[in-house]
Structure 1
Amino acid sequence: MRYQYGSNAYKIEEVEQETVIKQPQEAPRQQTRARVNKPLVVSVLCVSMLTISAAIYLTMVTNLMMAQLEVEALNQQLQTTKSKVNTLQSVITTNLDLDYIEQQAIEQLNMVKPLPHQIIYIDVPQENYTTYGK
């Protein structure tokens, strides 16, 4: 380039310079990094999926075991309740026995059987009975 004196404009031949763009050396490294990172990303995804699957499986197994324990506890409670019901049924059955009722009436309430001349038999028609289940 030349220094220009004055206000005259001289015709300057333009020289086209070829601009050589130097490609940085880091571009191939980035491509290799991308190639190296792909298997790493895939393996990380596989490991995370495996971990999530294992967590879901363990949660399901734990819930199943808890449900089984709850069912066992409920079955045991059912057996206990059934045994109590059977005990109460036997007590009720013995208390409804007419001989037992007669014995308790005589012993505890000091009742006595009526004599034959104290018994009066009457004839009641069927319409006067209260019937259940009809």
Structure 2
Amino acid sequence: MMRVVADTNIYVSAIVFGGTCEAILALARAHVIELYLSSAMHGELRSVLGQTFGWPSSRVKEALAEITGLASLVRPTVRLSGIVADDADHRILECALAARADFLVTGDKRHLLPLKTFRGVQIVSPRAFLDLLR
């Protein structure tokens, strides 16, 4: 089965807006792909949903429970720096390495997508990922 790390922006888009990003979560629900998540990403999701979107803690907990039900938790063993400008993106790359991911799916056009690959992990947009599976 394909091993995939979805950037936190994919989870947020899936939960808040649906659409293409929700289709990626649906693939995990259908056991077509395996999703992976780190505790750093979990914390970022909690922060974005609670603080940025102003969701009450009960709604945040519900969303995080759904995500943790779909994604396996991994513990990164390397600490990256100096690869991309946004340090939070290093946490995403660390998760992809720890998961031995085939793909990192992201909407980050400024920092992650321009890399295209990182240590054997293909970095693609949500649309490109879905197109690859067709």
Q: Highest CA radius of gyration, 1 or 2?
A: 1
Higher relative contact order (CA 8 A, sep 6+): 2
Question: TM-score with structure 1 length normalisation?
Answer: 0.15
Higher helix share: 1
Question: TM-score with structure 2 length normalisation?
Answer: 0.15
